[in-house]
Amino acid sequence: MKKHTNFPMFTYGTLMVGERNHTEVLLQNMVGYKKAEIQGQLFYYEEKDFPALTVGTETIEGQLFYFDNLDAVIPFTHQLEGFIAPHHQDNMYNFEVAEVETEDGEVVKAFVYRINPHLLTSQGDKFSLIEAHSWKTFKNRKG
């Protein structure tokens, strides 16, 4: 297996603390987290009940996870996010590096899962814009 640079991971949806996919794999390997923001656009993927981040100019809320062993986490998150390989047309989410700003103003590089643009284009009717720019706020309003 490829060894990954130990960047932190930006999460903005179901992987966040308190959400349904924040499981033992994350808990056992996480050494800390901070509130953080990323530039993008956030959609609701109705078919999967997931948020979907794209490139954009809005400020999207999330959490930055720090791991002591990122390689122990990657197989779990890749499977969950439908990541097959870099630039693979059948990825559900692409695994990328982006700049993230932490709650204390530090700008860092972090891994992030962004929705495959091909999926957004081909299934556009299954996506709706999350105007709150926050999965937790959207989910609370949705009920």
Domains of the chain: 9-137 (3.10.490.10)
Q: Mean of the pLDDT values across residues 115-137?
A: 94
pLDDT of residue 67: 94
Question: What burial class does residue 31 get, using C-beta atoms within 10 Å of its C-beta: 0-12 exposed, 13-18 middle, 19+ buried?
Answer: exposed
What residue type is 98 in one-letter code? A
DSSP 8-state assignment for residue 122: H
pLDDT of residue 1: 46
The pair of three-digit structure tokens given for residue 45, joined into one six-digit string: 């993927």
Tens of pLDDT, residue by residue over 22-81, are: 988 899 999 999 999 999 999 999 988 999 999 999 999 999 999 988 999 999 999 999
pLDDT of residue 44: 97
Q: pLDDT-based confidence at 104, cuts 50/70/90? A: very high
Tens of pLDDT, residue by residue over 8-30, are: 999 999 999 999 999 888 999 99
Q: What is the DSSP string of 13-58?
A: STTSTTSTT--HHHHHHEEEEEEEEEEEEEEEETTTTEEEEEEEEE
